[in-house]
């Protein structure tokens, strides 16, 4: 149920930054050891990898975000951060631009490795969505700088190394995805949908996300190739509707975008077949999110520029079954809203709509627990059992539903 309601996208930005300046920041990253292999206990959140580290004497949780070129910190600027002199212009899902300065962080202890000169931008735009689960994120710059990773998502372990061929034996005969850099050091891979082969980003920072496409690309294809448009229509179950845009780096959006939903019997990626896949085009960028790591461990080989999937129990066919019949998303209400803490965003013709829930209704309780803040809801949403929801419309009408 949780995936039908909550998908968090941490960093939806377009970076305007010179390649020379970005390489300067990446090349400035230093490691305390060389020719090393280290094992670190990690945490998992809806397929996303969270790495406990030590910064300034405190344990912090950093997401590994392959969708971000460089690191970022979620929260307020702290006194132990110092100016770097480098800045970046970013644009979020709402196309709002903002100039942000990179901060110099003190040494970051990750297992037995100390990372020095790691650059991060600092912003509190997403802090209300995370409820202290993570403090920031490592970007793909660590891979660019020469590290390779194995994320054992079954046993919650990470192996990190700077040895170029350390994973070679383990990689043999496993599903492999060669990638190319996209938009300044972000990996882009080929995914085979029933209607087309599409190159999209691998974004481990899209927590709980599966396969997402962009409506802009779909419309371009329809206009340029009518036959392809007809083939896409064969797999389209919902079209020409609207939904709130993704939360951007600078906060919650207020506009809507058109989108459609595809139902794909099969989607193939790197030799693994994913079955019964529902794909939405309500995102600003096409990507593969973190949910594939719920059933696959992953090796990121920066030297070979490849992603190697290690299916749990060796399963080369994996059922996704992510049918979005509910058609409901919940977002925090404005801080000064006195009517409730959570508001509904409802897709027309979904189950929520058919049961009388409308966009703008407030979530009053879940299984009898009053929802007075977003974090209460987030913790309850981790429960996969059937839940009873009570909504209240702005005029006071109460609506009880069950999924």
Fold of 176-319: Cathepsin D, subunit A; domain 1 (2.40.70)
User: Is the CATH number of domain 328-402 1.25.10.10?
Assistant: no
What is the pLDDT, as a whole number, of residue 317?
A: 96
CA distance 64 to 72: 11
Residue closest to 210 by CA, chosen among 161, 147, 280: 280
**Do residues 89 and 17 make contact, with C-beta atoms less than 8 angstroms apart?**
yes
What is the pLDDT, as a whole number, of residue 66?
A: 93
Please give the chain's pLDDT, 403 residues, in tens: 444 333 344 444 444 455 566 677 788 899 999 999 999 999 998 899 999 999 999 999 999 999 888 888 988 888 899 888 888 777 655 566 777 888 889 999 999 999 999 999 888 767 767 778 899 999 999 999 999 999 999 999 999 999 999 999 999 999 999 987 655 567 999 999 999 999 999 999 888 889 999 888 899 998 999 999 999 999 998 876 665 544 444 344 445 667 788 999 999 999 999 999 989 887 778 899 999 999 999 999 988 999 999 999 999 999 987 765 567 778 788 878 888 988 888 877 677 888 999 888 999 999 889 998 888 888 777 666 667 899 999 999 999 998 7
Residue 195, Ramachandran bin (φ over 0: left; ψ between -120 and 50: alpha; else beta): alpha
**Do residues 141 and 91 make contact, with C-beta atoms less than 8 angstroms apart?**
no
Superfamily (CATH H level) for 2-163? Acid Proteases (2.40.70.10)
Q: Exposure of 164 by Cβ count < 10 A (0-12 exposed, 13-18 middle, 19+ buried)?
A: middle
In sequence order, what are the residues at sequence separation of 6 or more whose Cβ sits closer than 8 angstroms to the Cβ of residue 298? 149, 150, 151, 153, 307, 308, 309, 310
- At which residue do the structure tokens 């059922």 appear? 319
What is the pLDDT, as a whole number, of residue 9?
A: 42
Fold agreement between 2-163 and 328-402: no
What residues does each domain of the chain span? 2-163, 176-319, 328-402
Q: Which long-range contacts (CB under 8 A, 24 or more apart) does 340-344 make?
A: 340/364, 340/371, 340/392, 341/371, 341/372, 341/373, 341/374, 341/376, 341/377, 342/371, 342/374, 342/377, 344/391
Q: Is 27 helix (H, G, I), strand (E, B) or coil?
A: helix
- At which residue do the structure tokens 């939405």 appear? 280
In sequence order, what are the residues at sequence separation of 6 or more whose Cβ sits closer than 8 angstroms to the Cβ of residue 226? none
What is the pLDDT, as a whole number, of residue 182?
A: 55
**Do residues 292 and 66 make contact, with C-beta atoms less than 8 angstroms apart?**
no
CA distances for 389 relative to 177, 330, 333, 352, 367, angstroms: 41, 12, 17, 11, 7
């Amino acid at each position: 149920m949780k995936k039908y309601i909550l998908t968090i996208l941490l960093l939806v930005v377009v970076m305007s930054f010179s390649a020379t300046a970005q390489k300067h920041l990446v090349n400035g990253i230093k490691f305390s050891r060389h020719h090393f292999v280290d094992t670190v206990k990690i945490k998992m959140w809806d397929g996303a990898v969270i790495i406990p580290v030590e910064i300034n004497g405190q344990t912090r949780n950093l997401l590994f975000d392959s969708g971000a070129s460089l690191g970022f910190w979620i929260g307020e600027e702290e006194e132990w951060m110092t100016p770097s002199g480098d800045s970046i212009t970013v644009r979020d899902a709402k196309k709002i631009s903002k100039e942000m300065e990179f901060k110099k962080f003190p040494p970051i202890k990750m297992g037995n490795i100390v990372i020095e000169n790691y650059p991060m931008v600092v912003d509190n735009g997403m802090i209300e969505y995370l409820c202290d689960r993570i403090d920031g994120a490592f970007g793909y710059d660590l891979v660019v700088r020469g590290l390779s990773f194995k994320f054992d998502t079954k046993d919650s372990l990470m192996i990190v190394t700077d040895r170029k061929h350390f994973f070679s034996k383990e990689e043999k005969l496993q599903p492999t995805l060669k990638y190319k850099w996209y938009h300044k050091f972000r990996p882009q891979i080929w995914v085979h949908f029933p209607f087309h082969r599409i190159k999209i980003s691998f974004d481990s920072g899209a927590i709980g996300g599966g396969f997402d496409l962009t409506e802009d690309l779909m419309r371009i294809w329809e206009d340029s190739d009518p036959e392809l448009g007809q083939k896409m229509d064969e797999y389209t179950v919902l079209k020409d509707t609207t939904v709130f845009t993704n939360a951007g780096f600078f906060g919650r959006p207020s506009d809507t975008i058109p989108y459609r939903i595809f139902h794909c019997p099969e989607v193939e990626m790197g030799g693994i077949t994913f079955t019964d896949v529902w794909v939405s085009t309500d995102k600003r960028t096409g990507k593969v999110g973190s949910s594939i790591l719920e059933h696959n461990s992953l090796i990121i080989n920066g030297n070979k520029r490849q992603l190697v999937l290690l299916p749990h129990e060796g399963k080369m066919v994996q059922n996704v079954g992510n049918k979005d019949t509910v058609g409901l998303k919940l977002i925090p209400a404005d801080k000064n809203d006195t009517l409730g803490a959570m508001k509904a965003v409802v897709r027309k013709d979904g189950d929520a709509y058919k049961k009388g829930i409308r966009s703008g209704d407030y979530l009053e309780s879940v299984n009898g627990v009053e929802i007075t803040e977003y974090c209460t809801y987030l913790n309850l949403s981790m429960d996969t059992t059937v839940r009873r929801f009570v909504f209240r419309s702005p005029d006071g009408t109460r609506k009880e539903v069950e999924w």
